[in-house]
Chains A and B, each alone.
Chain A
Amino acid sequence: DAGVIQSPRHEVTEMGQEVTLRCKPISGHNSLFWYRQTMMRGLELLIYFNNNVPIDDSGMPEDRFSAKMPNASFSTLKIQPSEPRDSAVYFCASSREAGGVEQYFGPGTRLTVT
């Protein structure tokens, strides 16, 4: 079975540009999570969905960040406009259900904003 798929794997963009990160969760998983990881702050949860519905977006840093999950097999995280401080590795993860079960992470998108 394929794991969590993320694209692109690497993204380099200039400040002010729009960035869209994509994620395909494992088939049959009902929960999807977006994380950001930096050296300074570690792994931070940005938002998570259960059955395609956003449950907790308290980790979204500001209005420049938005996430959607139009169906069970696809989610996007968009940053508009991007800033250098958004440079990080963005991970998508999925799990079979909400609540205390193993989360499977995708390989991540390494974002650099210059």
Chain B
Amino acid sequence: RKEVEQDPGPFNVPEGATVAFNCTYSNSASQSFFWYRQDCRKEPKLLMSVYSSGNEDGRFTAQLNRASQYISLLIRDSKLSDSATYLCVVNPTFGSTLGRLYFGRGTQLTVWP
């Protein structure tokens, strides 16, 4: 079983729509969680960290459900510039894997005018 599983999409939504991505992780001891964004033919960049209490950054809201080992990202009022691939990332802080991040395959989003 993969460490991080995501729905690959693609998600195609009109401008202004609300879209949600989900992700599950296999290691219940995982401690740190992130969403990264990757534009076409570019490197991944941190979008936001995910905290246990949930957190919001403008139009973006991230939620963590430890009981279900589930992470979500909600984008409200989608913009054309939100078109990208969104990577769910988990850091299981134990043993020799200390320091490494596990990346999901990514969910592709296209926002159309």
Contact = CB atoms under 8 A, between A and B. Distances in A.
A110 B71 CA distance: 31
A45 interface: yes
Interface in B33-83: 34, 42-46, 49
Interface in A84-114: 91, 95, 98-103, 105-108
B43 A91 contact: yes
Interface residues of B, number: 23
Interface string A49-65: 01000011000000000
Interface in B56-113: 87, 91, 93, 96-106
B32 interface: yes
A48 B93 CA distance: 15
A105 B98 CA distance: 19
A55 B42 contact: no
A48 B99 contact: yes
A101 to B, nearest CB: 8
B59 to A, nearest CB: 21
Contact of A105 (B31, B32, B43, B99): B43
A55 B96 contact: yes
Contacts of B98: 55, 98-99
A82 interface: no
| 10 A-B pairs with the lowest CB-CB distances in the bound complex, closest first | A98-B99, A100-B32, A105-B43, A100-B91, A42-B105, A43-B103, A102-B46, A99-B99, A105-B44, A99-B98
